[in-house]
Structure 1
Amino acid sequence: MLKGAATTMVHAALLILSSLVAGTLQFQLKHHNNEELLQVLQDVNSRCPNITRIYTLTETSVLGTPLYLIEFSTKPGHHEIMKPEFKYIANMHGNEVLGRELMLKLADFLCEQYMSGNSNIQSLIEKTRIHLMPTMNPDGWQLATDTGGKDYLIGRTNNNSVDLNRNFPNLNRIMYSNEENHLDHNNHLLAQLTRLKEPLQPETKAVIRLIMQIPFVLSANLHGGDLVANYPYDESRTGSQKDEYSGTPDDETFKHLALAYSTHHSDMANPTRRGCGDVDSNRFGKQGGITNGAKWYSLAGGMQDFNYLSSNDFEITLELGCDKYPPTKVLQQEWDRNKEALLNYMWQSHIGVKGIVYDNVAKRGIANAVIHVKNITNGKYQDIQHDVVSVHDGDYFRLLTPGKYKITAYKDGYLPHSRIVTVTNPAHSSAQRVDFALKPISVPPYVRIQSNSYADLDFDDKYGDLQEAWTNWINLNREPIAVQ
């Protein structure tokens, strides 16, 4: 018996040595510490150097641990025009660890499948720039792990005892105030923020910089403690702590996004599955595995709502299971339960429309042009009161569910341009392309103010340089992201 065990150990050691000689170490699903986490990312990068990049954010954790991401793209390190940006962020609450291991496995899987010729994975990476952040709270993870990973709260916060998912600037109150006062300021609201309830933590500040620097289209925030896909708004309109549905103007799209995950998970949307609580414990399964955040319980300062209200990014929160710190023996099972959902959700970056807004005289892209959508499906004729803006060289992405829409692009100094579009969203295909050529106008300021014909063109520069407004507000320079 001992001889057999010794032979097995020698065989395992030889496999490890052969992997090291080849420059790679086969990925194993287990709980990786903060040093091993980086080793996994470096191994993936060494195997797939042409489609990956490891980088760190501009701030470390409170205890000085770098915050790492790995990027998958055909041109790592660059925003490619007409290619949507996607992100997963995990382990925001340090004691909710499943997402952390799923991100490491996902990175390994994407590399492996791309290199082996999996056409679906190759297409996904060729069409999408993907960012994976295994941990936003490495200090909390360390504390949770050191204390056995059994407590429901120990390790949840960062090392300053701050819940990072309550630490983002609260833009909901600005949005709700604008709604009440019939103001159409409905996106990129950081410029309207005048004060913070509490100081931003370094981990929060780092992620805010990431959100401001990269024009994400879609993302998800991976948590644990229940099994449900949670969509905005997380904070209720009235301040009620629970049971108040607070939908966004994109409620239909957010429901679709949440269902895109829950229905591809092995049992998140199963109405007969067992829930996590004692009272009405299966209600999420009976709802298709999704919930509006504020309807569940209201929280202020969350990352999900911040993404939607500060940028073009649509984000949901994924609660991946009842056990916040599942044992190693179930990690393979959890990967199998989540793999198709993780992949399918990334493909949702390509629903709706995309295109370029450009000056039809200079033939150059126009940044910060506003994209406004009116839903005219079946005669509905309803404005979606949440606009996105073009970025960089004028490209934009607008997530939409199937239907008929009137889409208008405008910017101060140009005549607006509208197009009627029918969205179909075929699976695993790029979004329908809809470009806008804007004609520049030259009108004296007093004419624009007095003439009704130009009234709709005077927007008081409210969609000005959004990045500059951000840096002025928080007094942070746009530092380049440090590449490892």
Structure 2
Amino acid sequence: MCLALVTLGFCIVLISPKVVQAAFQFKHHNNEELATILEDVHSRCPNITKVYALSENSVAGNPLLLIEFSGEPGYHELLEPEFKYIANMHGNEVLGRELLLKMADYLCEQYMAGNESIRSLIHVTRIHLMPSMNPDGWEMATAAGGDNYLIGRANNNSVDLNRDFPDLDRLLYSEEEERTVRNNHLMDQIRHLDHPPQPETLAVMRMIMEQPFVASANLHGGDLVANYPYDESRDKDGSIESLSPDDDTFRHLALSYSKLHPRMSDPNQPSCDDTSSGFGKQGGITNGAAWYSVEGGMQDFNYLSSNDFEITLELGCEKYPKTERLAQEWEDNKDALINLIWQSHIGVKGEVKDAVTGRPLVNAIITTRNVTRINETHARKDLIKHDITSAQGGDYWRLLTKGEYEITASVRNYLPLTKRVLVTNPHHEPAFIVNFELQSATNQGQRTWVNS
């Protein structure tokens, strides 16, 4: 027997006269129902979840809600990578919103059912799910029937949120021309913003800068492809491939999603406009700028302002799919969504400390060279020109594909230390730990080398 409480977005299933269980209902949930579902998940799994709102509300006053899954919700645990999904940035692109609501329900359900893989993922990863960055746009799109590709894309101030972030790509490209480039944490080089961000953008910017995210994805609709940096072309006049220093890693992240989706990497999958072959012929992935150039996008802002490696997932041709499609879309995306979270564990991680006191060293610079052997006589010696930094606890995470690397930790007034590491990335296992204990540079010394 099923009692459908449509206003709450749930179907209450009567298991027995004494037991009542809430079952997730696939539908397009409004903003009130979204909040109710997150709170319901928290009530069922209070020990591993936390529901919270960002610092700003939307223009129309809707809270920007997230749910967190972790062994210690509400706290960053040392060496535990943080991952985030953000959906519904464009209000009329709604599939990601429903997938994240179902994912919250699924993670709780599977954890309580004893699914060892899900339990392990939650205990070694801090996962943040934001079903809607643009709840106002969702309301506009839904009120208009949901099938107009223009209505609801922007927020309530008619601003496209995925063009509203500081354009760090252009700052990077101009510095490349002047040969003064520093390809990371570029926000501290901006004296003032060229425009005041929308409240939704500002709230997400603060979250990105405050939380030590390692990897993330932004869920969109309108095509079927996993898109990776850079999104903005170096050439202002065209869409030309613009590769980041971490192109190998970003391609791996994109493929880790597309290969587990039943259609995204299918070479016979047609394009959404039916005028050309789809992205399946290239594995279901694309460099963003090679597709079309985006200025002020959230994906590249993550990479250039913080330690976060973000990709963009275009989940299908229909921006506002019919309700009857949602259950199948969940089945098509479920394994890929889970697998991408696991990719926050590739590469290496560790702590950077004072060798004498054991004090954690914050904002230590982690520099990486790829020294993978090409053949028996030659090896690469390629500097990956994108440093990351240690977090408040002195812990760091460096996403890397399989290979051999030299990793250097350096802090002002300390001697840098370099370790050589073989990265193997075992399937769905925590990253290899490489710790650094740095000596004070009071007495001048040379760089220290250690094989790990």
List aligned pairs for 1:195-344, cutoff 5 A.
195-242=192-239, 244-282=240-278, 284-344=279-339
Residue 193 (structure 1) shift: 1.3
Asked if residue 101 in structure 1 is aligned to residue 98 in structure 2, the reply is: yes
List aligned pairs for 1:44-83, cutoff 5 A.
44-83=41-80
SS in 2 for 1:295: helix
SS in 2 for 1:131: strand
The aligned amino acid for 1:61 is S
Q: Distance in 1 between matches of 2:345 and 2:371?
A: 21
Q: Which residue of 2 aligns with 1:166?
A: 163
SS in 2 for 1:324: coil
SS in 1 for 2:57: coil
SS in 2 for 1:50: coil
| Closer/same/farther in 2, CA of residues 43 and 247 from structure 1, 3 Å limit | same
The aligned amino acid for 1:47 is R
For residues 417-465 of structure 1, the C-alpha deviation after alignment (integer angstroms, 9 at most, x for no partner) is 000000000001000000011001226xxxx9xxxx78x99xxxxxxxx
List aligned pairs for 1:135-174, cutoff 5 A.
135-174=132-171
Residue 15 (structure 1) shift: 7.2
SS in 1 for 2:128: strand
The aligned amino acid for 1:393 is G
SS in 1 for 2:24: coil
Higher fraction of helix? 1
Q: Distance in 2 between matches of 1:10 and 1:120?
A: 32
| Closer/same/farther in 2, CA of residues 211 and 12 from structure 1, 3 Å limit | closer
Asked if residue 41 in structure 1 is aligned to residue 68 in structure 2, the reply is: no
Segments ≥4 residues shifted beyond 3 Å: 8-15, 17-24
Q: Distance in 2 between matches of 1:27 and 1:272?
A: 33
| Closer/same/farther in 2, CA of residues 253 and 325 from structure 1, 3 Å limit | same
Residue 303 (structure 1) shift: 0.1
| Closer/same/farther in 2, CA of residues 22 and 9 from structure 1, 3 Å limit | closer
Q: Distance in 2 between matches of 1:124 and 1:438?
A: 31
Q: Which residue of 2 aligns with 1:433?
A: 433
Query: 5+ unaligned residues in a row in structure 1: which ranges?
Result: 1-7, 458-484
| Closer/same/farther in 2, CA of residues 10 and 56 from structure 1, 3 Å limit | closer
| Closer/same/farther in 2, CA of residues 403 and 22 from structure 1, 3 Å limit | same
Residue 213 (structure 1) shift: 1.2
The aligned amino acid for 1:418 is T
Residue 199 (structure 1) shift: 1.8
Residue 274 (structure 1) shift: 2.2
The aligned amino acid for 1:367 is V
Q: Distance in 2 between matches of 1:401 and 1:171?
A: 25
Q: Which residue of 1 aligns with 2:421?
A: 421
| Closer/same/farther in 2, CA of residues 254 and 122 from structure 1, 3 Å limit | same
| Closer/same/farther in 2, CA of residues 46 and 239 from structure 1, 3 Å limit | same
SS in 2 for 1:126: helix
The answer to whether the 8 A contact 1:56-1:67 is kept is: yes
Q: Distance in 2 between matches of 1:9 and 1:23?
A: 11
For residues 323-342 of structure 1, the C-alpha deviation after alignment (integer angstroms, 9 at most, x for no partner) is 00000000001001000100
Q: Which residue of 1 aligns with 2:28?
A: 31
Asked if residue 91 in structure 1 is aligned to residue 88 in structure 2, the reply is: yes
> Which one of 117, 121, 136 corresponds to residue 120 of structure 1?
117
Residue 178 (structure 1) shift: 2.2
Q: Which residue of 2 aligns with 1:176?
A: 173
Residue 266 (structure 1) shift: 1.2
The aligned amino acid for 1:113 is Q
Q: Which residue of 1 aligns with 2:185?
A: 188
| Closer/same/farther in 2, CA of residues 416 and 184 from structure 1, 3 Å limit | farther
| Closer/same/farther in 2, CA of residues 357 and 147 from structure 1, 3 Å limit | same
The answer to whether the 8 A contact 1:143-1:154 is kept is: yes
Moved more, 8-17 or 429-438: 8-17
Residue 177 (structure 1) shift: 2.0
TM-score normalised by length of structure 2: 0.94
| Closer/same/farther in 2, CA of residues 391 and 73 from structure 1, 3 Å limit | same
Residue 183 (structure 1) shift: 2.2
| Closer/same/farther in 2, CA of residues 108 and 10 from structure 1, 3 Å limit | closer
Q: Distance in 1 between matches of 2:2 and 2:259?
A: 41
Q: Distance in 2 between matches of 1:302 and 1:17?
A: 43
The answer to whether the 8 A contact 2:155-2:161 is kept is: yes
Higher fraction of strand? 2
The aligned amino acid for 1:148 is G
The answer to whether the 8 A contact 2:302-2:309 is kept is: yes
Residue 21 (structure 1) shift: 7.8
The answer to whether the 8 A contact 1:240-1:298 is kept is: no
Asked if residue 355 in structure 1 is aligned to residue 355 in structure 2, the reply is: no
Q: Which residue of 1 aligns with 2:376?
A: none
Residue 12 (structure 1) shift: 9.5
SS in 2 for 1:384: strand
SS in 2 for 1:136: coil
RMSD across aligned C-alpha pairs, in angstroms? 2.0
Q: Which residue of 1 aligns with 2:362?
A: 367
The aligned amino acid for 1:91 is N
Residue 179 (structure 1) shift: 1.8
Q: Distance in 1 between matches of 2:139 and 2:442?
A: 60
| Closer/same/farther in 2, CA of residues 9 and 218 from structure 1, 3 Å limit | closer
The answer to whether the 8 A contact 2:69-2:128 is kept is: yes
Q: Distance in 2 between matches of 1:195 and 1:111?
A: 42
Identity among equivalent positions (%) equals 60
SS in 2 for 1:441: coil
The aligned amino acid for 1:384 is I
The answer to whether the 8 A contact 2:13-2:23 is kept is: no
Q: Distance in 2 between matches of 1:275 and 1:78?
A: 43
Q: Distance in 2 between matches of 1:280 and 1:196?
A: 39
Residue 240 (structure 1) shift: 3.0
The answer to whether the 8 A contact 1:350-1:399 is kept is: yes
Query: 5+ unaligned residues in a row in structure 2: which ranges?
Result: 374-378
SS in 2 for 1:16: strand
TM-score normalised by length of structure 1: 0.88
The aligned amino acid for 1:117 is G
The aligned amino acid for 1:352 is G
SS in 1 for 2:336: helix
